[in-house]
Amino acid sequence: MSRSDKICSILEDFVDDLNEKLEPQKLEQTLRGDYRPVTAELGSQPEPWIRHHLIRPLIDAVDLEWEPEIHGGGQGYPDFGITNLDVKVIGEDKSLNGSDEAEDDIEQYLNNRAASQGAEYGIATDGIIWTVLRIELGGDYLDYTAVDPTPINFRQELLHIANEKNYIAQSGVSEVDIEAKAELFYETFNREDFNTLLTQEAPRIIRSKKKAGIEEFYDLYVELLFGEGSGSYSYDTTLLDDIQAPEGATETDKRKFAIKLVNRLLFVKFLEGDVIPDSFLNKRVNNFQDAQEKVDRFGGGLYKSQLEPLFFSLFNTEEDDRISKHRGGWFDEVPYLNGSLFAPEKEERGYDVDDRMLETVVQDLVEGHELSENNGNHTLDPSVLGNVFEMTINHISGGQSQKKEGAYYTPSDVIRLITEQSVDPKIYEILVDTYSSRVASASNMDEGQARELVGDYDLGEMLREIEQRQGYFTDPEALEEAYDRLGKLKIVDPACGSGHFLTAVLDEIHRVRMSLLRGMKGDNLDEKDVYSAKKDLVLNTIYGVDVNPIAIEIAKLRVWLKMVEEGWREEFGRLPNIDVNIVPGNSLVGLPAISSGQSMLQAFDVDLSGIQNVRDKYREGQINRRELDTRIDDLRPEIRQFYAENLNHYFEDEVETTGKFDNLTANLDSLYPVVDAARARRKDGENLSDRDGDKLESIGFTAYKKSGRLDGEDLRGKMGELRSLIEDGFKLELERRPTAYDLEELQEYGELSHEAFHWIVEFPEAVVKDGTEYSVDFDIVVGNPPYGDLVTGIERRFTAGYRTGNIRDIAAQFLERQLQLLGDGGVFGNVITLRLIYDSKAYVSRDVLNKKLTDTRIACFGWRPSYIFAGSEALAAVITGQKSEEPDDDIQTSRFILFSDEDRKQRLENIDYYRTDDLVLGETIGGGSIGESSDKSMPKVGTEIARNILEKLSDASGTTIRDKEVDEKTEHKVWRKEGARYWINPLLESLWSEEDRSRETKPMHFNSELERYTTFLLMQSSLFYNHWMTYGDQQHVSWKLVRSFPFPNMEALRENEEKIEKLAGELWTGIEERFHPEINVSGEIQGVAELKPLVDQVDELFGPMFDLSEEEIEYVKQLDTEYGRSLREEGQNQLPNGAVSRVELND
C-alpha cells in the first residue's frame, strides 16, 4: 500500500466508524463542522474516541512516535508529545470540531515554561484539521505562527468519502482530490520531512516573511515621511514637507519630529482593541474628513485638534482633570494611562502638521491600507518599531548612523541564546537556593544534600513540579520567597537601543513567575494578576540606558506595550511611570568612576535613600516629573564635582587659546595635581629661540630644542605664567586629569545624549553599600553594545582611565563598564564584536574578561555563508558567564559558527564549547598568556577533537614557518595575500602583473626548494585552514597566523621530498590553469574545489608528521565542507573554505 493509500484508508475507516455511531443527518452535520458528537452517541468520551479512531492512526502512519501526557497530565498540560524529532513538539487533541480550542490551548502551553518544557512547536488537531504552531519568543508581543502548509483540513475529503459510501446526501459536496490531500499530509508530517520542516524550512520561511514585511513597511515609511523610498510607492508630497516647525528648528529636528510622531501613532494603533476601541485612529481621520467644520471647535487641523490632545492631554490626564473641550464624545473613549507617557519635549508644542499627508500616513501606513494591497496582511508586530528605528536612523543620517553608533538590531534567536545562557541560569540558581534551603530546614537534611536533590530537576521540570505542588516543591512560603526574589532582580542593558533586550528579558522572567503564581493560586489567575506581576517587573527589575533619545523613547513604548500585552483595564489603575528606568545618557562616563582601576566609591554622602524615595513616588504617580527632576538637578553640581575628584588618571590635552585655558582652570586653586606635566611649544612649529628658551627657564621649564617641560610640584603657583605663554605664541601640551570643564563640554557635544550618566544617582535601587564604600551591583547585565572606533575625543578624556582605554573599539570599554556594574554572583550576557577575542591589540579586554567572569562561554559567529545580523558583515560573539571574586581561568569557546539560512536554527541551538587554557596564540600555538602582550588571539575550539588537534600542533611548534622564513631575498619564494574576504591560495609565483598586484601581496623567502614547497603545501592544507579559522577572523591571512604555524621535522620532510615536490607541482599546475587575470585582479582563483583531492593528500602527508590520528586528519579534511557549494549564483561572497577554497566542492 502506498503512503497516500494508507492515509486514505485511515480516513475511510474513520468515516465508517463514525457512520456506525451517528444517524445520517448528524453525521453530515459533524463532517461539515456544525455538530460535536457526545459521549452517549460515541460510546466513550469524545476526545479518547477521536484520538483512537483518527488522530493516533494518522500519527502512526507518518512514523511519528507519540507519548501521551508527555509533561504530566491534568489541566494546563499538553495531551501528547512527539519524541523522535530533533526538536521538542507538544500536541493537543480535541473532540471533533474542536480545532479552534486545540489551537488556543497549544498557544497557552507553548507560553508556559512548565507545560512546554522548552518546546516551540505544537500540533493542534481534532483529527479533521491539523495545525502546527510555532511560538516566537524574544519579541515584543508573543507571536504564534502557523507553519506552512498547515492547517491541513480533511473536511471536504471526509464529506466526499461519506457521500461516495452513500452515508450522506449528495447535495453540497465538493469534488476533491483525496489522494493529493493525503499525499500533502504525508509529505508534511512524515518523520524525516517533518523534522526538516521544523528545524530548517519553517524558521527560514518565517524569518524571511517577517523580514520582507519589515522591509515593505520601512519602504512605505520612508516614502511617506521623506519621499525617499525605493520607488514602489508614489505620493505627491511627504509628511516632512507638511511639518510646520518652530523657529530655529533644523532639518534634522524636523525629521526626528516626523519619526516620533509616526512612532506614537503606531503605539496608539497597537493599543487598539485592548486599551482603546478598535479602529480608533481610522475613525478619528474619517470623522475629521467628514465633518471638519464640527471638529474644528477646538481650532486647528487633525494634528492640533485630535492627535496632540491625544498624546499630551488625554493619555496623560485623569478624566476629572481634563479641560472642558477635551471631554465628551470620542475623548471619553480614551482612558487615562499615566502622566508621562507622551510628555512633550522642549519646543515640541511649537510644531504643527498640515492635514494632507498626515491623513495618508494614518490610513496607508498605520492602518496598513496600502500594505494590505501588497501583501494582504496589515497586522504589525511592535518589534517593527525597533527594526524600523534602526533602519530609519541610519537612513536619515545618510548611512552614517550605524557606523557612528555601531548599532544593529539584535535578532530574536540571538537574544534567546543569551537569555538561555544568562537569565535562565540566574532564575534556576534562585529557585534551587530557595527550595533547597526550605527542604533542608524542614527535614533536618544537610543543605548540600538538599541542594543536590533539588538540583536534579532542570528548570522546566522544576516549574512543572511547582505548578502541580509535587515532590520537594510543595512549600507555599518557598513559592512566595522565590516569586519575590525573582521580582527583585536588577537587570540592565547599558546600550539598550530601542529596547529589544529589555522586552525579551522581561518576558523570560515573567513566564517563570507565572508558573510560580499558578503554583500559588492554581487556575484562579485573572488578567489583573498577570498585569500586576508584569508591572512589578517593569518597575523594579528592568533598566536601560542609551545615548540616542529617540531609541529611548521607542524602548519605553515597547516596554509599555509589553506590560499591557496580556490585558489592561482602567480598573487596574493607571499605568506606572517607567521613564525613570529607561533613560538617555552616556553609560561610559559617570559615577562610579573607572579611573586607574577604581571601582568603588568612598566618602559619598548624597542621600541615596531620599532619591530612591522620590523615584518611587514618581513611579506611582504621587509626584510629577518636574518635581523629580528638580530634586535630581539640585544635586548635579555636587555630583559632577565629586565625579571629577574621583578621576585620577591622566591624558594628553593641547591648549592653544586663553579661552580654553581659563575654562579649564576656572575652579582650580592650583594646576598641580590636576596637571602633572606641561610641555610648551611654539604655535608656528619652529624651534625655540634663545629668547623663548630664557622665558621658559625663567618660569621653571627645562628647555629643549623645540619645547620646554615643567613637571609635578613645579607647576604649583604657575597658572598665570602658563596663561601668559599662550598669549606670547606658545601652545601647551598638558598631561592632566579630567575636570568639570570636560563634563560641561561633554554635555554640549553633538545631538546624542553624551552627558555623563551617574549610575549611583540615576538608579539608586541597584546601589549596594559596604561600610563606607558604594558600588552599583546589577544581578544581570545583558545587551548588544556598539562596536568600532566610536569613542569621541571628549569621551576619551574619561575613558583613558579604563584598562581598555587604549583599545580603539568602544565595545572594549563597554565590556569593562558592564563588568564593573555587575555584582558578585551576577550573570553576564552580551553580543559583542569578535574582534575582542581574536585581535592581538585587544588582549587587555580578554584579561578583563578572564579576571571578572567564571564559567565563561563564548560563541563565535562567522559572517559567511549567512550573517548573524541582517545587513551587517560584522563578526560577532555571544559572551556569557558569572561574575566571581575567584574566576577559574577556564574560558570555553565554540568553533567558528557558520550557518546558512536553512540551518541557522540548528546551529544556534546546538553550540558546542570547549576549554581554551594553554592554547592562546603567541609566537606559537599555546605560546601566549591571556592578558599579556604575548596574547595574539584566543582560540575558537568547540569540541574535544578540535582541542586535541591544537594540542598536538602546539607540541609540534618547536619550529614554525617563522623559523624557516629568511629576511634576505632568495629565489625560493612563496607568494601570499593578506587582506581578502575569502580564502586566497598561496602561490609559487606571482600570477599578477606588478600594477595589479595588491600591496598586501608579498613574497616569503626560504633557503631551499624543500622548505618552499613544504610551506606552499602547508598553507594549502585543511590543517592550515583549521588554524586560520581557529585564530583568525575569516577575512585576513595575517602574518601572525602564517608564521605561527608549526613546520614539520626536516628529517621527515627529506624522507618525503619526492612526494612533496610532486604534490606541490600538481597543485601548482592546477592553480595556474584556473587563474584568469581578466577577472582575478582581487586574487581569487576560480574552480579550485576540483583540486580538493590533492589537498586531502597534503593533509594525509603532513598530518602524521604532527602526530595526528586518522580520525583527526579526517576531521580537518571535512571541516566546514557542508557549506562547500558555490555562493556566486546567489550574489554572495565566496565562502572561505579549505586552503584551496572548497566552494563548488559538492556541485
Residue type, 337: L
User: In which band, very low, low, confident or very high, does the pLDDT at 660 lie, cut at 50, 70 and 90?
Assistant: very high
pLDDT at residue 514 above 60?
yes
Same domain, 923 and 1047: no
Same domain, 1002 and 938: no
214, 378, 854, 869 from 211: Cα distances, Å: 5, 14, 37, 12
User: In which band, very low, low, confident or very high, does the pLDDT at 871 lie, cut at 50, 70 and 90?
Assistant: low
Residue-level pLDDT at 382:
65
Residue-level pLDDT at 981:
53
The C-alpha cell that represents 311 in the structure block: 498624546
pLDDT at residue 1146 above 50?
no
CB neighbours (10 Å) of residue 11?
Answer: 23
Give domain status of residue 104, yes or no: yes
Same domain, 938 and 961: no
Residue-level pLDDT at 380:
63
Alpha helices in 522-596 (DSSP H): 527-540, 549-564
Give the distance from CA 933 to its chain's centroid. 31
User: In which band, very low, low, confident or very high, does the pLDDT at 1144 lie, cut at 50, 70 and 90?
Assistant: very low
Same domain, 253 and 132: no
Give domain status of residue 426, yes or no: no
Residue-level pLDDT at 374:
45
Q: Give the mean pLDDT of 1010-1034.
A: 95
Q: Which helix (H) or strand (E) holds 1146?
A: none
pLDDT at residue 367 above 90?
no
Q: By CB neighbour count within 10 A (0-12 exposed, 13-18 middle, 19+ buried), where does 110 fall?
A: buried
Q: Which of 13-27, 63-77, 380-394 has the lowest mean pLDDT?
A: 380-394
Q: Which of 77-91, 112-126, 613-627 has the lowest mean pLDDT?
A: 613-627
Q: Give the mean pLDDT of 29-55.
A: 95
Identify the domain containing residue 840 by its residue range.
834-942
Q: Give the mean pLDDT of 721-727.
A: 96
In whole angstroms, give the CA distance from residue 347 to residue 341: 17
Domain boundary among 882, 913, 942: 942
Give domain status of residue 37, yes or no: yes
In sequence order, the β-bridge partners of residue 827 are 780, 882
Angle at 679 between CA 675 and CA 685, to 5 degrees: 145
The tally of domains found in the chain comes to 5
pLDDT at residue 595 above 70?
yes
Q: Give the mean pLDDT of 957-979.
A: 92
Residue-level pLDDT at 997:
65
Residue-level pLDDT at 95:
96
Closest CA to 723 of 685, 673, 675, 684: 675
pLDDT at residue 610 above 90?
no
Residue-level pLDDT at 449:
92
What ranges make up the beta strands (E) of 457-564? 491-493, 542-546
Same domain, 40 and 146: yes
pLDDT at residue 393 above 70?
no
pLDDT at residue 1009 above 90?
yes
Angle at 489 between CA 483 and CA 491, to 5 degrees: 140
User: In which band, very low, low, confident or very high, does the pLDDT at 1137 lie, cut at 50, 70 and 90?
Assistant: very low
Give domain status of residue 444, yes or no: no
Q: Which helix (H) or strand (E) holds 379?
A: none
Domain boundary among 899, 917, 942: 942
Give domain status of residue 812, yes or no: no
Q: Give the mean pLDDT of 123-139.
A: 91
Reduced to 3 states, what is the DSSP secondary structure of residue 1009? helix
Q: Give the mean pLDDT of 583-612.
A: 80
Same domain, 984 and 925: no
Residue-level pLDDT at 399:
46
pLDDT tens by residue, 914-952: 999 999 999 999 999 988 889 999 999 999 999 999 999
Residue-level pLDDT at 292:
67
Reduced to 3 states, what is the DSSP secondary structure of residue 223? helix
User: In which band, very low, low, confident or very high, does the pLDDT at 783 lie, cut at 50, 70 and 90?
Assistant: very high
Find out whether 1034 and 864 touch, Cβ atoms under 8 Å. yes
Same domain, 718 and 696: yes
Q: What is the pTM (predicted TM-score) of this model?
A: 0.90
Residue-level pLDDT at 731:
96
Q: Which of 143-147, 709-713, 1053-1057 has the lowest mean pLDDT?
A: 143-147
Same domain, 108 and 257: no
pLDDT at residue 1076 above 90?
no
Find out whether 731 and 655 touch, Cβ atoms under 8 Å. yes
Residue-level pLDDT at 170:
66
Residue-level pLDDT at 125:
97
Same domain, 185 and 312: no
In whole angstroms, give the CA distance from residue 557 to residue 275: 14
User: In which band, very low, low, confident or very high, does the pLDDT at 1096 lie, cut at 50, 70 and 90?
Assistant: very high
In whole angstroms, give the CA distance from residue 621 to residue 1113: 68
Higher pLDDT, residue 799 or 388: 799
User: In which band, very low, low, confident or very high, does the pLDDT at 1126 lie, cut at 50, 70 and 90?
Assistant: very low
pLDDT at residue 350 above 80?
yes
Residue-level pLDDT at 1077:
66
Give domain status of residue 803, yes or no: no
Same domain, 977 and 1021: yes
Give domain status of residue 395, yes or no: no
What ranges make up the beta strands (E) of 662-727? 675-682, 702-703, 707-711
Mean residue pLDDT of the chain comes to 87
Domain boundary among 895, 920, 942: 942
In whole angstroms, give the CA distance from residue 937 to residue 841: 9
Angle at 1044 between CA 1039 and CA 1046, to 5 degrees: 135
Peptide bond into 865 cis (omega under 30): yes
Same domain, 868 and 980: no
pLDDT at residue 38 above 80?
yes
Residue-level pLDDT at 395:
64
pLDDT tens by residue, 729-743: 999 999 999 998 999
The length of the chain, given as a count of residues: 1147
Same domain, 969 and 933: no
Residues 997-1004: contacts with CB within 8 Å, 24+ apart?
Answer: 998/1083, 1001/975, 1001/976, 1001/977, 1001/1083, 1002/975, 1002/976, 1002/977, 1002/978, 1003/973, 1003/974, 1003/975, 1004/961, 1004/965, 1004/973, 1004/974, 1004/975, 1004/976, 1004/1042
In whole angstroms, give the CA distance from residue 392 to residue 403: 14
Give domain status of residue 899, yes or no: yes
User: In which band, very low, low, confident or very high, does the pLDDT at 1147 lie, cut at 50, 70 and 90?
Assistant: very low
CATH code of residue 23: 3.90.1570
In whole angstroms, give the CA distance from residue 338 to residue 356: 31
